[in-house]
Every structure is written in structure tokens, then in C-alpha cells.
Amino acid sequence: MATFKPKFIRPETDDVIDEGGGGHQEPQNSAFVFNANHNLGLVEQRERLPIRKYRDQILYCLENHQVVILVGETGSGKSTQVPQYLYEWGWHSKGMIGITEPRRVSAVTLANRVAQERGELVGDTVGYVVRFLERTSNDTHIKYMTEGILLRELLADPLLTQYGVIIVDEAHERNMLTDMVLGLLKKILRKRSNLKLIISSATIDASFFSEFFSWPRSGAEADKPISVKLSIEGRMHAVSHFYLNEPCADYVRETVETVWKLHQKEPPGDILAFLTGQEEVLEAMDLLREYIASQETTNLKVLPMYGSMTSNDQLAVFFTPPKGVRKVVLATNIAETSITIPGIVYVIDCGYVKVKWYNPTTCSDSLVVVPVSKASAIQRAGRAGRVRPGKVYRLYTKEDYDALAPRQPPEMRRSEMSGAVLQLKALGISNVLRFDFPSPPPAKNLLSALETLYALDAIDEQGQLTRPVGFLLAELPFSAMLSKMLYISGQMGCSEEIITIIAMLQVQSVFSRPASAAAQQSGRIAHRHFEVAEGDLITLLNVHSAFVEEGMTKEFCGQYYLIYRNLKRACELREQLLNMARNKYGIAIFSCKGDVEMVCKCITAGFFTQVAYLHHSGVYRQISSGTELAIHPNSTLYTLPQAQYVVYGELLQTTKLFMNHVTVIKKEWLTELAPHYYQQTTVRD
């Protein structure tokens, strides 16, 4: 029975999808294009980009308005060309041209690309700054950076006087840092009329930005709007929309059946299907391969696309399939705006998306599957009309589509806020509640953040940053609790070990978890060489020590199922953090010489608000709220006897509320290290 694989019957040929209202057309304010000129020289490539014919309009709008909202699809050339147009027309003489990106990899690759187009090395005219990495010089006029870097520059220069133009790229993502940057830039623009702002968005729902960047002006410019919206048109063919007559019970199965029907009935053209996460993508892939095997089909190629894939695996979706073969891409919402896949004619939209949601009561993040917004549904449909007239199959009814929310709640409204509050306090915004957020966060989230910061001694009773703790926590590029742990480690004499742990937590998992069951078992056995009863963070410390002792070789990583790239990166970060702690923050660097209890106490000093105790019923409960918790299956402690008290680095809600990065502690440490937070009492029945 172990080798039994279920065979699925081919879907019936009756079509459950009905064309809604004779090919219901969305009003398209903007059209998008895919740039496929990679085989031409760099100059020809630049000339053929869709944005090229809008160069003069962009420059004209920037001359006449303080804020330009630029709407154009991924691949239209916004991120690489606009900074060059500004430089070529002399805008750099008024101050540096700064471009913020939501991801460090984007900042680095875009800077490399622009430098290549200009025939220079990175660090000359074009440079970049990301966390722990900088390539700029005195000649740099175009600077790519992550949003966090711009926030740190605001600490030293609140009016950003060295910049003439700021470009906020990928603003449609509306992540926490984007919203903070936009809120702060609004304040700066009102004080500095000579600063220009370009907001670059890949979605057509840009009216929100125009409303946010509008305020009354006096004098001759009173009637002139602050912001202007410019859409970059491309070749966009008509897209027919189809809906289900009845809601479906299982959208993964429905997606697979729709792919199969399209493949049999529709003319050639690649298919892009949207699902919510990696597990669903892999499940749909297995089902489709079952169909392909049962029908012995050779002209259908199935490819996955999700965020945690390696770069090489992700590249596969961009290649044209062999002649006569149809490509099917099963993707998460990464394919909605972040990338552009050529050849797509048919889109299948499951109607859902997975988002992270913060619960201030339990202080935990949940991954929840929610219906997509109308803006996302339109964006997904827009992927179909590139090559020729396309079709989108929505796996929900027309009534459900009409009832969708206009846009997804931004990250600011569903995230933990302590990092954002620290940053704003450090920038001199004492009353965070009065700050003009683009989308104000819920009061409960703000209250939870203020309580956490007060417990960590980062703010005082008046809500002002404390010295030295509060200002140090605001300046360190980690979460408040990790920063507090680093601060305490200098006093406890275990800063070397704590910096190693922090560096290991900054990279993705160093443990390789193979796909096959046999390899998983071997990996689990290999990882036991490092696992200790004290928990996950001490285990990470052991992995680093062993890696360094064995000469940091790939062979060592292969033998013990570790990921070499991530470990190497953690070692580089550790060196940078040691220098930073010693030279910039004045933290004394000591090693505790193997005193594990000292390291565990230091971890407790940072994470004392996140403690769970073993209830007499045999489950863990959160000490502050009594909420039931479980140890994550990937944790070192999952298979060990249960400890009485543990601290955890994060909570994640999936099937249960799981604790991650768990460390075993002693009860008496809580009253010793955080007497302001815990007190010992005796309860008599």
C-alpha cells in the first residue's frame, strides 16, 4: 500500500464556466507590455522599452508638479530608465537622485543594470546601499537603496537635503516601510518645495496616492495640483472574462481541471494559474502530472513559481517551450506584479491570496487565506492580453467578484508595530497617534507596540525614547527584542555568542530539508549532531561553531545537510556586526567561553515578554494571556521531553499557534532579569 498512487479520472467535458455577460470587459485605464528585446544591444534595448516614448512627458510633469505618480507594468522600464532620464537632463545638479526598493536584491541588481547601461562600474555615477553593504563614492548621483536605508538617513538628515529627487519604486506593494517613507516624505515635501517625488506603481489603482499627496497651497500656485498621474501605455489586447455559474468546493482541483479543459479545447497559448502558496502549487502540480501520465500527454509542460524557489528554478518559467508544447505556470501572487512571464494567453484566478496578519492579543502572526481584492483580480487578468487577445477564467461567480473589496489592506494595518514606532520616535515624532500614516494602523496594534517598548525600557512613561537603550534600539537594524538582547550581552559578557545567534537569524534557514522522505530522515539524523536540550538558538550557535572549526567547507555542509550559501552569509554578517557593535555602538565584545547558561539568560533578557509555561494538562500556555501554544515541528525541542518554561522568538499561526526559535529557561530568571514585568506570588486554593 505504501507505493499506491491515486489515479484521477479525466474531468468531464461539460463546461461549468460560463462567459459572464458576453465577455465582460474591465475598464482599463492603463495597458501594459512585456519587453522581449534581451538579444539586442543595450542602447537598442533602452530605445525599445515602452517608457522611452514617455520620457518628455515624465520630465515635463516633474518640472510642473511636486509629485508624479507613474503607473506602468513590470518590465516597462520604470526602475532603470527614469533615474537615467533625470540624470541626462541635469536633475542631479539639484541634488542626488535616490531610488527606494522594497527588497535588497532589487536595489543591487537594478544598480548593476543601470551602471552596465551607462558603461560604468557600480559605485561611480550609480551606486547602491543596502543593509550591511554599500557601493557608493563621492561621484555617485544615482543611488539605489532599500526603504530602511532611507529611514536611517532621515535620522541624520530629517529634510533629506542631499536629495533633489526621490523615487519610491514598487509603491503598489504598500509594505510597512513604504507607508512610513510616504508618510515622512509628505511632511518633508510640505517643508521643501524644491524636493521632487516620483511614486512608481505597477497597479492601475493609483488614485489613493494622488489623494494622499494633496494639501492646500497659497499664492500663485494655489490652483495647481501637487500631484499628477501618468500612465505608461503598452500593447494590451482585449481580455474576455469568464466566471463560474456556481461556487466551487476545492479551487486547487478546479484549477487543475480548468487547465486540462483549456489544453484540450483552446488554441495554442501558455496558461498562468494563480494559487495561494507553495503547498497548493506543488499539490496542483502533482495532480496535473497524474493527468498527463494517465493520458500519456507529451505536449504540456508544467512549471511552478513561488517566492522561496532558487533563482535558477525561477528562470525556467521565462523560457519559451519547444514547438507544439504548451507551458502551464502554477504561481503564487509573485506573478501578479513582481515578474512578467512571456507568452501567457490564458489566466486562471483562484480568487484567493495568502497574507500575514498580526493578532495583538496573542502577539502572533497568522498566515490567512483571504479573497483577493478587485485591484488584484484586475491585475491578474491583465497578464492574459500581452501576446494576443486573451481569456481569464475566474473560479468564482460574477456576484462574488462584484462583492470583492476594492484593494487589499496594506501591511501597516496588519503588522506588529514596535519597529515602526521606534523609528518614528527616533525621528522626533513624539505623538505617533497624530502621525499622518497613508493607512492608519489599528489602535490595538499601536498599543501593543507601546507596551512592548515600555517593557523593554526603550520608552519612558511619557512615551519618549530612553537613553541609551531606546536610541540604541532605534538605530540597530533588527527587531526591538534582538536589539535589547545585544545591548544586554555587552554587560553580561557573552556578546560574541549573541552576535553569532543574531547573524544566524538574519539569513534564511541554514538547515536543508530535502523533498524525499529518505533524505529527510538522513537530514534529521545529521542535524542531531548540533541539537541540544537548551533549544534552537544554542543549536544555531553550535552549527556556526562547527562550520568555522571545519574550515567553512561545502563538503561539511553536504555531509550534515546544511545550506552553505546561508551559513557563509551568516559568517560575513557576524564579522560586520562585531565591527559595528565595537566601533559604532560601543558594546564590549566578550566571549563567555562556553557558559551556555549565561547565553540563555541573555536571550531571556531580550525575550522575557514572550514566555510560555507547561500547563498541568500537558500543553504550553502563554504566560501573559494563557493562550495555548505548541512547539513548531522544525524545532530542536519538538522531540525532546517538555521543559517547564521556555521563551520563543516568534509565534506563527497555521494549523495551531506554533512557537519558533525556542529556548529553555529557568523560572527564577524572569524575576531576576525583568522584576518590573514579573513578580513571584503564591496562590493558595
Over the stretch 636-652, which tens digit does the pLDDT of each residue have? 999 889 999 999 998 88
Separation CA 232–CA 70 (nearest Å):
7
Pair 227, 253 in one domain: no
111: helix, coil or strand?
helix
Question: Is the pLDDT score of 35 beyond 60?
Answer: no
Q: Say which residue, 611 or 296, is predicted with more confidence.
A: 611
Residue 25 identity: Q
8 A C-beta contact, residue 207 and residue 30: no
265 lies in a domain? yes
Q: Say which residue, 42 or 67, is predicted with more confidence.
A: 67
Cβ–Cβ contacts within 10 Å for residue 172, how many?
A: 22
8 A C-beta contact, residue 671 and residue 610: no
- Average pLDDT (182-194) is 93
Over the stretch 480-496, which tens digit does the pLDDT of each residue have? 999 999 999 999 999 99
Separation CA 152–CA 181 (nearest Å):
11
Pair 288, 183 in one domain: no
Which residues touch 340 (CB under 8 Å, ≥6 apart)?
34, 35, 73, 74, 75
pLDDT of residue 231: 87
Query: 407: which 3 cell numbers?
Result: 484593494
pLDDT of residue 480: 93
pLDDT of residue 20: 35
496: helix, coil or strand?
helix
Which of 396, 411, 426 terminates a domain? The answer is: 411
Separation CA 332–CA 305 (nearest Å):
7
Which of 231, 248, 266 terminates a domain? The answer is: 231
Pair 339, 441 in one domain: no
Pair 298, 374 in one domain: yes
pLDDT of residue 507: 87
Domain containing residue 326: CATH number = 3.40.50.300
Which of 185, 211, 231 terminates a domain? The answer is: 231
Pair 110, 85 in one domain: yes
Query: 585: which 3 cell numbers?
Result: 555602538
Cβ–Cβ contacts within 10 Å for residue 574, how many?
A: 20
- Average pLDDT (158-169) is 95
304 lies in a domain? yes
Pair 154, 257 in one domain: no
Q: Is the dihedral of CA 113, 119, 125, 131 positive or negative?
A: positive
Question: Is the pLDDT score of 515 beyond 90?
Answer: no
How long a stretch of residues is the chain?
Answer: 685
Pair 147, 254 in one domain: no
678 lies in a domain? no
636 lies in a domain? yes
Separation CA 486–CA 21 (nearest Å):
61
- Average pLDDT (544-556) is 94
State in Å, rounded, how far the first CA of the chain is from the last one.
Answer: 54
Pair 395, 254 in one domain: yes
In 3D space, the residue among 327, 322, 279, 271 whose CA is nearest the CA of residue 302 turns out to be 327
Least confident of 171-180, 214-223, 628-637, 656-665: 214-223
485 lies in a domain? no
135 lies in a domain? yes
Cβ–Cβ contacts within 10 Å for residue 370, how many?
A: 14
Over the stretch 379-438, which tens digit does the pLDDT of each residue have? 888 888 777 889 999 999 999 999 999 888 999 999 999 999 998 999 888 889 889 999
What is the tally of structural domains in the chain?
Answer: 4
Average pLDDT of the chain is: 86
Pair 204, 319 in one domain: no
In Å, how far are 34, 40, 77 from 37, measured between CA atoms?
Answer: 9, 6, 12
Pair 137, 220 in one domain: yes
The DSSP letter of residue 248 is -
Query: 92: which 3 cell numbers?
Result: 542631479
Pair 329, 450 in one domain: no
Q: Are strands 227-231 and 620-622 parallel, antiparallel or unpaired?
A: unpaired
Provide the residue range defining the domain that includes 341. 238-411
In Å, how far are 88, 165, 185, 276 from 195, measured between CA atoms?
Answer: 18, 6, 10, 40
- Average pLDDT (93-116) is 90
Separation CA 506–CA 580 (nearest Å):
15
Confidence grade of residue 365 (pLDDT, cut at 50, 70, 90): confident
pLDDT of residue 204: 60
In 3D space, the residue among 416, 425, 424 whose CA is nearest the CA of residue 466 turns out to be 425
Confidence grade of residue 98 (pLDDT, cut at 50, 70, 90): very high
Over the stretch 450-506, which tens digit does the pLDDT of each residue have? 999 999 999 999 999 999 999 999 988 889 999 999 999 999 999 999 999 999 999
Pair 243, 287 in one domain: yes
